[in-house]
Amino acid sequence: MRTASLATVLLGAASTIQAQQAASPGYDCYPTCIPSTVPANETLSFGRHYAVLNLDMITALVSGVAPTPAGSKWIANTARWIDAVHAQSPPPLSIFTRIYFSNSHKPEIGPASPFAKVGGALGTASSNLTEVYPAFCVNETVGDVVLQKTRYYAGAGNGLEEILRAQQIDTVIMSGIRTSGVILSTAYRLFDLDYKVYVIANNTIETPSNSPDINTNILEGILPKLPVAVITLEQALAALNNSGPAIY
């Protein structure tokens, strides 16, 4: 789907819910209000051995949703979260993923690779489209890590799992684009590796959003059944203050 048609679809979906009010603090109701799996009166902490995963927030993906109400809310929420994480003292481990290929031949995928149909149009590390979207701050000075990937799973073909083991991480907090791609794939894998997994519902989005049910079904139905904790942005921000100091 082209960017223009994607924006049209998202705008149409967003217009149907603009009159809705948030059901929980921090919720924007795009495309619908997602209830947290953690009770609002429960004090949430990520402990000390936690990592923040900011997944696939590259220009090629984000620019398609940025002009829409849903996209602008998602960008604002996610940027607010990233900035709050960096403001911790000391900051925890933050890992960003980018989808790109080693060179113009794209040796990581072949013509018969299923992933070529969804990611094959992306380029190399030098392409602006594969850079982290400018609204999201990557601060390598404080230890942020940026990893290449060439499949949906955040750890495909890179050192994600090695880094998490080496840093004795036991909890991960995920944000990213798209919910049915990197979020779902990574949640399954890290859950199977015995990590405590949190997904910030405000910080996930579908692209293209052909049906508002996709995001809702994953966040309300599929992830809680693993179980993965689905939380609000406000809960995540409060948990930062209850956590740490982070060990990294």
> Which residue in 206, 215, 186 sits closest to 64, CA to CA?
206
* CA pair distance 221, 215, nearest whole angstrom: 10
Buried residues in 62-99 as b, exposed as e (16+ CB within 10 A): bbbbbebbbbbbbbebbbbbbeebbebeebbbbbbbbb
Strand partners, 211: none
Q: Is 49 left (phi over 0), alpha (psi -120 to 50) or beta?
A: beta
Q: What is the per-residue pLDDT for 4?
A: 41
> Residues 6 or more apart from 112 whose CB is under 8 A from it?
none
Nearest in space to 164 (alpha carbons), one of 185, 141, 139, 193: 193
Output the pLDDT for position 212.
62
Is the CA virtual torsion 37, 41, 45, 51 positive or negative?
A: positive
* Total residues belonging to the chain: 248
User: What pLDDT was estimated at residue 188?
Assistant: 97
pLDDT of residue 248: 93
Question: Which residue has 């990574």 as its token pair?
Answer: 186
Task: Give 10-residue mean pLDDT values along the chain (248 residues).
Answer: 38 34 40 81 95 97 90 94 97 97 90 86 92 97 96 96 98 96 97 98 81 82 95 95 94
> What is the pLDDT, as a whole number, of residue 137?
97
Q: Can you tell me the distance from the alpha carbon of 180 to that of 215, in angstroms, rounded to the nearest whole number?
A: 7
Q: How confident is the model at residue 32, as a pLDDT?
A: 62
| Closest residue by Cα to residue 177 from 13, 66, 36 | 66
- β-partners of residue 157 are none
> Which pLDDT value is given to residue 197?
98
Alpha-carbon gap, residue 201 to 27, rounded angstroms: 8
Can you list the domains of the chain with their CATH numbers?
A: 50-242 (3.40.50.850)
In the chain, count H helices and then E strands. Answer: 9, 6
Q: Give residue 97's pLDDT.
A: 98
Look-up of token digits 């040796």: 107
DSSP letter assigned to residue 204: E
